[in-house]
């Protein structure tokens, strides 16, 4: 059984008994936030620092190679060149268009799936829906695995390159995978 804690509601209110469990449940979100806050602060600091430095560097004048900074003075030349070129404007427009389309597709697909998942009464049905959603996250992992097979396989790019330049001969190909 849970232990009862006396709580006073106000100066004229009588004490009432509240279980420790209910107090712990009310404090739980704040505890989680307290545990997450150092990591979130660190990530916020790193990301905002990187974005701020990128923003500041965008106002500098660069050499023709684009590697070294010619002048550390405030110039709008980079933005004028970017916004004045139709190619870059088309790329920017396509970026926003694709972002909008992907967001709309995610909303159109995500809300009905989540609604159906919440309304499904059986645990098995919810698990099937959740597994279907999580399997889509594995696509990038599978693509990477097959890419490594193409690169490191018996007739892969690495073996063919090493045979071509003479590091290994044809009958001594490396068996890097399976």
Which tens digits make up the pLDDT trace of 58-94?
888 877 776 676 777 788 988 999 999 999 999 999 9
In angstroms, the CA 172 to CA 154 distance is 10
Q: What is the pLDDT of residue 22?
A: 60
Q: What is the pLDDT of residue 57?
A: 86
Maximal C-alpha separation, the chain: 93
Q: What is the pLDDT of residue 53?
A: 92
Q: What is the CA radius of gyration of the chain?
A: 29
Q: What is the pLDDT of residue 91?
A: 95
Domain range annotation of the chain? 18-76, 129-178
In angstroms, the CA 117 to CA 147 distance is 34
Low-confidence ranges of the chain (pLDDT < 50): none
The answer to whether the CB of 17 falls within 8 A of the CB of 3 is no
Secondary structure of residue 6 in the 3-state scheme: strand
Secondary structure of residue 59 in the 3-state scheme: coil
Q: What is the pLDDT of residue 158?
A: 86
Helix 157-165 and helix 139-152, axial crossing angle in degrees, nearest 10: 20
Q: What is the pLDDT of residue 55?
A: 92
Residues contacting residue 157 through CB under 8 Å, at least 6 positions apart:
150, 151
Q: What is the pLDDT of residue 84?
A: 94
């Amino acid at each position: 059984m849970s232990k009862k804690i006396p709580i006073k509601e106000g100066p004229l209110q009588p004490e009432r008994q509240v279980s420790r469990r209910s107090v712990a449940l009310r404090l739980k979100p704040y505890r989680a936030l307290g545990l997450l806050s150092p990591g979130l602060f660190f990530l916020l600091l790193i990301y905002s620092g990187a974005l701020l430095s990128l923003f500041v560097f965008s106002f500098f004048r660069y050499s023709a190679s684009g590697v070294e900074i010619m002048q550390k003075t405030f110039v709008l030349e980079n933005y004028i060149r970017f916004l004045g070129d139709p190619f870059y404007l088309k790329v920017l427009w396509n970026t926003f268009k694709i972002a909008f389309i992907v967001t709309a597709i995610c909303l159109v697909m995500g809300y009905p799936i989540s609604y159906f998942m919440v309304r499904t009464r059986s645990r098995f049905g919810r698990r099937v829906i959740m597994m279907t959603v999580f399997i889509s996250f594995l696509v990038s992992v599978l693509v990477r695995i097959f890419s490594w097979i193409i690169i490191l396989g018996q007739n892969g790019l690495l073996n063919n390159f090493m045979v071509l330049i003479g590091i290994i001969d044809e009958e001594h190909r490396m068996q890097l995978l399976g």
